[in-house]
Amino acid sequence: MIYLKKSLLICFLFVLSWNINAQIPHDVEAWVGSNLKFKLNKKVSLNISPEIRFDNDISTRKSVFTDLELKLKLSKYWALKWGFRFAQRPNNGIKLRGNFDILFSVKKKKKKLSFRNRLRSQFGYAIQTGKNEVFIRDQVLFKYNLSKLVDPYAGGEIFFKTKSLEFRQFRLLAGLDWKLTNWWDVSTFYIYEREIFNSNPSASNIIGFSSTFKLKKKKQKSHSSL
């Protein structure tokens, strides 16, 4: 219940911030990616995710990166995740990023609605400039099991910069998770991203597509001795 109240409060702050300084420049971006999920056992999984992003009204390449993530399931509700990103930007060169996530999720069997809260500590380093940034990110997500084929979801995320001790931007998101097969899922989504508490803020309308392939470790067959 505490997490639900917290998430509703954060979503309310997003909507409130959205109406402040509405006349700001907007860009249109496109994010296209894929995910390879390796389930090593019941508690540990590995995820490799290459992605390309376009900006300037989807006319130029913004960045190309690959994420490597290791997830450890602690219980029915809690999980931990470690991640590393290698990114290349045309104007800013190579950027490295590491993150540590604490995940909380809950879903009742009789109800089709599920909830997830992700608290992320993120460190980024730009090799070309030597600039580094540390962010704390809090994301809430609600998903509804509409049918065997598709699950709609919606949520939001806020970014807190530790160096300046201020909130810097937020995201509002909505999408559809398509369950095509037992090993192949597709996600289509929209994200509204905007800077806050900035004298010259910017905003982006983002459309995205992601394809996920699930791989499981094959069970070894037992051989009976004769």
- pLDDT tens for 67-102 read 999 999 999 999 999 999 999 998 889 999 999 999
Is 225 a member of any domain?
Answer: no
Is 221 a member of any domain?
Answer: no
Q: What is the mean pLDDT of residues 204-225?
A: 80
Q: How far apart are CA 75 and CA 55, in angstroms?
A: 39
Closest CA to 95 of 62, 59, 46: 62
Residue 219 pLDDT: 65
Closest CA to 69 of 92, 46, 101, 40: 46
Is 224 a member of any domain?
Answer: no
Q: What is the pTM of this model?
A: 0.87
Residue 122 pLDDT: 98
Closest CA to 4 of 115, 97, 84: 115
> Average pLDDT of the chain?
89
Q: Is 93 helix (H, G, I), strand (E, B) or coil?
A: strand
Total tally of structural domains belonging to the chain = 1
Range of the domain at 181: 2-19+31-50+60-216
Question: Of 52-56, 109-113, 179-183, where does mean pLDDT reach its minimum?
Answer: 109-113
Is 172 a member of any domain?
Answer: yes
Residues 156 and 9: beta-carbon distance below 8 Å: no
